[in-house]
Amino acid sequence: MPLTLTELPQPTQDAVAAARERVAALHAELPRNELVVWTAGNVSERVAATGPDVPGLFVIKPSGVSYDELAPENMVVCTLDGAKIDDGTPETLVPSSDTAAHAYVYEHMDEVGGVVHTHSTYATAWAARGQEIPCVLTMMGDEFGGPIPVGPFAVIGDDSIGRGIVETLRGSRSRAVLMQNHGPFTIGKDARDAVKAAVMCEEVARTVHISMQLGDPLPIEPAIIDALYDRYQNVYGQR
């Protein structure tokens, strides 16, 4: 029998409800920033732990549902093995086809609280070529701490995409990976952070592409990239 949401402690149920609200709202940012078409793309967020005996959970978009129809009540709740729990949604409402990839990331990267996948045009164009985006912009140094790497080719159906994401990003400061012939996945401390990374990934993919039409972009010295990254991650903004 699947895990039932109402059997979980009330703090967990409250955390799930809050995550559903955030994830549903954040999906609107994908079409707003022109990162998706039709029903493609997905946002997920890990549910905050509320006790040692509570299983790991995350909330994700249902598969093939129009963005106009997304609401907190139809966000799907899954365990970290990608299985949908009895969350109050109809049995016929299945989670995103990318759920296995999201689940693998959460299971193997404890620091990750949000995952986003899009097929944004410029980032996906780089992925189609299997080419990383070089760090030739200060905003790339700020946000990604270096180039945006390419992950291995993998197809939907099991956790192969998730393994490729984890293997690629574990050795990188980047919060974005271009899965070869597929598109970008981004991670963050929560879903909002991962959505921001997706927006920034597309922006730098577009800008660097345009720059390359004009000539050879000028590289930035690694020491300067390190300094940019440290300042942006530890000093910039309100604390």
- Active-site amino acid positions: 142, 236
Sign of CA dihedral 145, 198, 34, 121: positive
Distance, in Å, from the CA atom of 68 to the CA atom of 94, rounded to the nearest integer, reads 17
Distance, in Å, from the CA atom of 76 to the CA atom of 236, rounded to the nearest integer, reads 35
Distance, in Å, from the CA atom of 75 to the CA atom of 52, rounded to the nearest integer, reads 24
11-15's contacts with Cβ under 8 Å and 24+ in sequence apart are 11/50, 11/51, 12/47, 12/50, 12/51, 12/54, 12/57, 15/47, 15/48, 15/50
Distance, in Å, from the CA atom of 155 to the CA atom of 178, rounded to the nearest integer, reads 14
SS3 state at 120: coil
Total Cβ atoms within 10 A of residue 212: 12
